[in-house]
Amino acid sequence: MTISSRQNPWFKRIREAIRDHAGEIVIEGPKPVADAIAAGWKPIKIIERDVDFSSAIFDAIAETKSPQNVIALFERPRFDLQSLFARESSIVIALDGVQDPGNVGTIVRLAAAFDANGVALLPGCADAFGPKAIRSSAGAILTVPVVNCSIDELLAQGWDVIAADTRGELADPPFAKAILAFGSEGSGLSPALASVARMIAIRMSPRIESLNVASSAAILLARSYELR
């Protein structure tokens, strides 16, 4: 029977997962859902437009402007911080207060493209498992470990921290056994992380003062990958 009531428990559960993305997350679209299942994710519930939910109810929870007719509910993946540091031949990306979920998702995608170990989200970051971040990752969220942690927990792993900053030296980014950190779009790194990081800058024309955090990440991660 097609569900047409907003009081239905599945409608409420999916809407809550879209809003909170705490214990459960939502992936939208037939291909992203199929990719998640192929990657080993087990759906809690798959909802099809006009089959499980009426068009009106489905459209009420769909995040995209043009609903793609399939929504799936999954358990939120969990990784421990130590798993990001198990491989010493690559780097860990740390995001420090990056608040735009589009930037967070794009950097998760870059982590996959340039074979980083994973992404550590420090306090103040947008959630990588929110709907916009998931879409911006273009499927990379399915394979890139993402962990929320504190600065103290990150530094306790013992790896050097290298940070992108326009005031830093012109130098190559790290390519192994290091943390490459990016600060918030407005204020950069938090003082606690900046105090222990070595700052590196990107050589660019004086016509522009700075780059978007995702653009900076793309340049430095590409260079890091080339150095391996």
Q: How high is the pLDDT of residue 204?
A: 82
pTM for this model (two decimals) = 0.92
Residues of the chain with pLDDT > 70, as a percent, come to: 98
| Among 192, 177, 72, CA closest to 122 | 192
pLDDT digits (tens, 9 = 90+) for 83-124: 999 999 999 999 999 999 999 999 999 999 999 999 999 999
The pLDDT confidence band at residue 67, using thresholds 50, 70 and 90, is: low
**CATH classification code of 81-226:** 3.40.1280.10
Q: How high is the pLDDT of residue 165?
A: 82
Please tell me the class of the 9-75 domain.
alpha beta
Q: How high is the pLDDT of residue 7?
A: 93
Backbone angles phi, psi at 75, to 5 degrees: -70, 140
Which tokens is 189 given?
Answer: 């790194």
In eight-state DSSP terms, residue 97 is: S
Radius of gyration of the chain (CA): 19
The pLDDT confidence band at residue 66, using thresholds 50, 70 and 90, is: low
Q: How high is the pLDDT of residue 188?
A: 85
The pLDDT confidence band at residue 65, using thresholds 50, 70 and 90, is: low
User: Does 9-75 match 81-226 in CATH topology?
Assistant: no
pLDDT at 223 over 90: yes
The pLDDT confidence band at residue 82, using thresholds 50, 70 and 90, is: very high
Which tokens is 30 given?
Answer: 């037939």
Q: For residue 206, give every residue at least 6 positions away whose Cβ sits within 8 Å of its Cβ, in sequence order, or none.
A: none
Which tokens is 108 given?
Answer: 């998760």
For the chain, give every domain's residue range: 9-75, 81-226
Average pLDDT score, the chain:
92
pLDDT digits (tens, 9 = 90+) for 19-36: 999 999 999 999 999 999
Question: If DSSP codes are grouped into helix, strand and coil, which group holds residue 106?
Answer: helix
